[in-house]
Amino acid sequence: MTDSSRLRIAIQKSGRLSDDSIALLKAIGVKLQIRDRLLIAHSTNQPIDLLRVRDDDIPGLVMDGVVDLGFIGENELEEKMLERQAASKRSEFSTLRRLDYGGCRLSIAVPSEFNYQGIQSLNGMKVATTYPYLLERFFIEKGIDASAVMLTGSVEVAPRAGVADAICDLVSTGATLEANGLKEEEVIFTSKAVLIQRGGSLPPEKQALIDRLLPRIDGVMQAKE
């Protein structure tokens, strides 16, 4: 099924990064036949296989050298890096390109009735998030004594459910926050999609293929400017 001489690229199976990542690959001339349920997709004109997974798994797959490249949001990448550091796991990779999609920010938001008067107002608070490492790093940098409550979903309803006082979640337009009676107060991280490569050297023919693809990515991004 998988052939180690083919370049392996991890992409999000279905979500906010999937369509743009596939569109970019197609735009640089990688023909793909994607069947919805399948984990693997083979290119029909290049020695490239796509591994279609949850975005949470992509940093680990690259850092463990299971795949050669990955398309991932910087937010997820940075969070997983911090998580691996805490567990003393290697997190070797290089960022090849910062891409022009997947833009968002990780922000702290509080209920609209919360009398927010700057980050000091977060002292003693519980903040629900899917990004506990990024949030705790922010608290430490700012000298705030607050705690991160990890939730993998439904973060925006945590204050209403009495689970937390505030949230720290990804925002692009702010419409979801508003719909949940929350106001954005602090941006703690800004993010875009990036293309990353695993650490260590690749077989020369794989590296040569990557080196041919990168200028095409630059060309596609320039054409959109």
Cα separation, 17 vs 102, in Å, equals: 6
- Residue closer to ligand ATP (CB basis): 126 or 192: 192
Residue 70 binds which entry of Zn ion, ligand ATP, none, CB below 5-8 Å type-dependent? none
- Residue closer to ligand ATP (CB basis): 15 or 29: 15
DSSP state of 152: S
Is 191 a binding residue for ligand ATP by CB under 6 A? The answer is yes
Residues within window 87-146 making contact with ligand ATP, judged by CB under 6 A: 102, 104
| 90: Cα separation from own chain's centroid | 18
Is 194 a binding residue for ligand ATP by CB under 6 A? The answer is no
- Residue closer to Zn ion (CB basis): 57 or 165: 57
- Residue closer to ligand ATP (CB basis): 148 or 194: 194
Name the E strands within the chain: 7-12, 40-42, 48-53, 69-73, 93-98, 104-111, 126-129, 147-150, 166-171, 182-191, 193-198
Strand order in the sheet with 182-191: 147-150, 126-129, 166-171, 104-111, 182-191
Instruction: Please pick, from the candidates 142, 172, 203, 211, the single residue that binds ligand ATP as defined by CB under 6 A.
Output: 172
Cα separation, 170 vs 129, in Å, equals: 9
- Cα angle, residue 166 at apex, residues 163 and 169 outer, rounded to 5°: 105
Instruction: Please pick, from the candidates 21, 25, 46, 55, the single residue that binds Zn ion as defined by CB under 5 A.
Output: 55
Instruction: Please pick, from the candidates 6, 27, 56, 126, the single residue that binds Zn ion as defined by CB under 5 A.
Output: 56
Is 54 a binding residue for ligand ATP by CB under 6 A? The answer is yes
Residue 47 binds which entry of Zn ion, ligand ATP, none, CB below 5-8 Å type-dependent? none
Cα separation, 49 vs 187, in Å, equals: 36
Number of residues binding to Zn ion, judged by CB under 5 A:
2
Residues within window 16-35 making contact with ligand ATP, judged by CB under 6 A: 16-17
Residues lying near Zn ion in the complex (CB under 5 A) are found at 55-56
